[in-house]
Amino acid sequence: MFRALRNWLYDRDALAPLAFEAPLQSLKARLAGGELYFEGLIGRHLIGNTHRTTLVLLPDAGLAEARGC
């Protein structure tokens, strides 16, 4: 919806972002041909992503007592 609005605001074809049939057919053909498309996306954007956050959770032994549980 926002892509269509953006196109419309800048005097471009507002319906162009809705033309997803050709890219979808292309993806289906690639998958039918045995390409590991989604596996590549996962590897590139999740596994191979160098941006990381390390979160360390430490238990608080007195929390339940402090909350009155």
Rama region for 56: left / alpha / beta (φ>0; ψ in -120 to 50; rest):
beta
pLDDT tens digits along 27-57? 999 999 999 999 999 999 999 999 988 999 9
- The sign of the CA dihedral 7, 13, 18, 20 is negative
Mean of the per-residue pLDDT values for the chain?
A: 90
**pLDDT value of residue 27:** 95
pTM, rounded to two decimals = 0.52
**pLDDT value of residue 69:** 80
Q: Which domain holds residue 14?
A: 2-67
| CA distance linking residue 15 with residue 8, whole number of Å | 9
Q: Please give the tally of structural domains in the chain.
A: 1
